[in-house]
Amino acid sequence: MEIEINKQEKNGVELKIDNTTVAEILRVYLNEQGNEFAAWRREHPSKPATMRIESGKNVKKEISDAVSAIKKDLNKISKTVK
């Protein structure tokens, strides 16, 4: 999986991600955390998705928190399945 940061601002970031499944899961968790805006789009299936994230807080921390929450939920699911 490749992630490329296109534009980084104080309260927002735009990045390219080649895995739309990961982009969608990240979008859902970021929106559940109450971020101002988190969405992705893809111009064509052969091109990577462009994801835009805006937050009134520190965007890097918000992404990190979302990834931590995803890992926590995946560990719960993994233990339940075993």
The reply to whether the predicted model has a pTM over 0.85 is yes
The mean pLDDT value of the chain amounts to: 92
Please give the single-letter amino acid code of residue 31: N
Q: Is 38 exposed, middle or buried (0-12, 13-18, 19+ CB in 10 A)?
A: buried
Residue 2, pLDDT score: 87
Contact of 17 with 23, CB cutoff 8 Å: yes
Residue 56, pLDDT score: 82
Fold assignment, 3-81: Gyrase A; domain 2 (3.30.1360)
What is the percent of the chain with per-residue pLDDT over 90, rounded to a whole number? 79
For the chain, the structural domain boundaries read 3-81
- pLDDT of 22 over the 90 cut: yes
